[in-house]
Structures are given as structure tokens and as C-alpha cells.
Amino acid sequence: MNYINNYNLTAYNAYRINAVCTKAWFPENETDLLEMLRQNKNKRLIILGNGNNIILSKEYYEDEFIILNGCFDKITVNNTEMEAEAGATLLQLSKTALKHHLTGLEIFYDIPSSVGGAVVMNAGTKEGEIKDILVKVRYLDLADKQINEISKENIGFEYRNSFFQKNTDKIVLKAWFQLAKGKPEQIKTKMEQTKHTRWAKQPREYPNCGSVFKRPPGRFVGPMLDELGMKGFTIGGAKISEKHSGFIVNTGNATGKDILSIISEAKKRVKERFGVDLEVEQRII
């Protein structure tokens, strides 16, 4: 089983925050993961998937990290059903679907997320969410170290929320998706259109973790921040994007504290002006 001491996490978080953990583990399969947990049963372990929806708030972590990125990412196709380990990315999943002439994943093509993270957050767009194609999930219960499976009907999916978001001791290991046969040229066209639309609206030129806040009922976060004149608002190396105010970007050497300070100020101003309590979509570690 692979592990590295004093490991730099910069490449494992989409904000590209410079942070180090005391030890990073890289399990290749469920057996590796269970053995690693057995060896460290009294330690707090932090699990990172693709690192696309997290804010690392510290420069150094005494905690050890389990990293499911570049590993634990096997994908299997059986007719129109796809089985994917938690470390696989939605990009890998979408490309595999195209290769097998399967439709249903096109809108997820350019969403930067691991399968595990997508299930936990119920990732998606206005066109659909991961729950729409999910069949079931295999997960590890850290409370008793047992592996279980749960159907999507019992996961309690909501907007950017799920059973796994509310129960952080339940770790997604694998997910099954039901797709349909399609024409490869149409699948590829929709994938490219999805990517083009997203890149036109989002600040992909800077490191970021996507939408910072959940959309409040009847409101949109970006226009509220625009009205408050916060577009381009900067603390340290972090800035509210001038391309889309719902994003915070790292313009260079941003720390987790810089990002959290901007979040705090945005929440305060929105509450004062609009009476709206903004809820952070991203996971703060």
C-alpha cells in the first residue's frame, strides 16, 4: 500500500492552495482501504476525491489524508450499465460512455468532480443531476468498518445534498449508473456544446472550485454580489471572479484563509442587503 509522509496537497485541490499533510495514503482497491483503516483505527483520516469542491483552510495538517485521485478509479461497462469506483472522474466516465455509444452522461462531461464527490453533492446542472442516472452506491461505514450497498431511492437526494453529505462517516466506494444506447456523433456534439457553454460563463483561466454558494430559493448568488459591487473583490491572492461572481478564483498564492475571508464578507453583505443567508456549497477542511 502506497503512502508518502509530509505530502504537498497543492495538486489535489482545485483552488491549488499550498497545504501539506503529515501523511497521504493512496489505496488501490477496497482491500487496501480496509487494511489502511485497520492500521489507523484511532486516527482521524480525511478523504479527498478529485479535490474539486473543497477549501483547505490550513497550511499544515497533522491529520493523515486518504487520496482517491489517480487511483481507485476502475470503470466497467455492462451493456447499458456503468460501474465506477469513487476515484474515477466524471470526465473519464463521460469519455467511456462515448466510447461505448452510451448516452446520459453528456451534461456531466465538463463538471470537474470525482464519482464519489458527485454522488455526495448530487452534482449537476439545470439539465439534470447525478441522481437521475444513478442506480445504487457501495459505501464503507466507518462506524463499524462494514461495506454496504444502498439504492438511490434511499439516498435522500436533494439540491446539492444527500445521505452521504449528512453522514460523513459513510464513504462512497463505487456507484452504478443506468445509461441508454445512443448515436456517438450526437453524444459527442452534446458533450462539446456543454463544455463550450460552461467555459464561456465560468472563469476556467484561474484555479477555482466552481460555485461557492448554493442557490437560495428564488434568487441567484451572482446577481446579488454584482449589485453589491463585489465583482473583483480581492483578499490576498483570492478574488471574486469578474467573469462570474458566483466563483472565487486563486489569482496567485491564495490561502484557504483568503478564500474564507471573502466568503465571510460576501455572506455578511448579502444578509445585510437582501436578508438572505448564503449557504456554502464547498466543503471546508
pLDDT exceeds cutoff 80 at 54 = yes
Residue entry with cell 460563463: 201
Residue 178 and residue 79 in one domain: yes
Q: How confident is the model at residue 161 (pLDDT cuts 50, 70, 90)?
A: confident
Last residue of a domain, one of 173, 199, 225: 199
Q: Are 142 and 66 in contact (CB under 8 A)?
A: no
- Cα separation, 24 vs 13, in Å, equals 14
CATH classification of the domain holding 36: 3.30.43.10
Residue 95 and residue 146 in one domain: yes
Residue 153 and residue 259 in one domain: no
Q: Which residues contact 6 (CB under 8 A, 6 or more apart)?
A: 20, 21, 22, 23
pLDDT exceeds cutoff 80 at 126 = yes
Average pLDDT over residues 139-163: 90
Residue 98 and residue 170 in one domain: yes
Beta bridge partners of 280: 213
Residue 166 and residue 92 in one domain: yes
pLDDT exceeds cutoff 80 at 148 = yes
Residue 186 and residue 214 in one domain: no
Average pLDDT over residues 100-117: 93
Residue 188 and residue 250 in one domain: no
126 is in which domain, residue-wise? 75-199
Cell of 16: 491549488
Q: How confident is the model at residue 185 (pLDDT cuts 50, 70, 90)?
A: very high
Q: How confident is the model at residue 197 (pLDDT cuts 50, 70, 90)?
A: confident
The rounded percent of the chain whose pLDDT value lies above 70 is 100
Cell of 157: 437526494
- Among residues 16, 138, 160, 269, the one annotated as catalytic is 160
pLDDT exceeds cutoff 80 at 272 = yes
Known catalytic residue at 215? no
- Among residues 94, 114, 162, 211, the one annotated as catalytic is 211
- Cα separation, 17 vs 239, in Å, equals 14
150-156 long-range Cβ contacts below 8 angstroms, 24+ apart:
155/119, 155/131
- Residue 198: its pLDDT value, please? 85
Q: Which of 82-86, 197-201, 242-246 shows the lowest mean pLDDT across its residues?
A: 197-201
Average pLDDT, rounded, for the chain:
93
Q: How many residues comprise the chain?
A: 285
- Residue 44: its pLDDT value, please? 83
Last residue of a domain, one of 162, 182, 199: 199
pLDDT exceeds cutoff 80 at 1 = no
Known catalytic residue at 106? no
Known catalytic residue at 114? no
For 11-35, the pLDDT digits (tens) are 999 999 999 999 999 998 888 888 8
CATH classification of the domain holding 149: 3.30.465.10
Residue 49 and residue 105 in one domain: no
Per the structure, the count of domains in the chain is 3
- Residue 42: its pLDDT value, please? 77
CATH classification of the domain holding 213: 3.90.78.10
The rounded percent of the chain whose pLDDT value lies above 90 is 74
Q: Could you tell me the pTM of the whole model?
A: 0.85
Residue 223 and residue 277 in one domain: yes
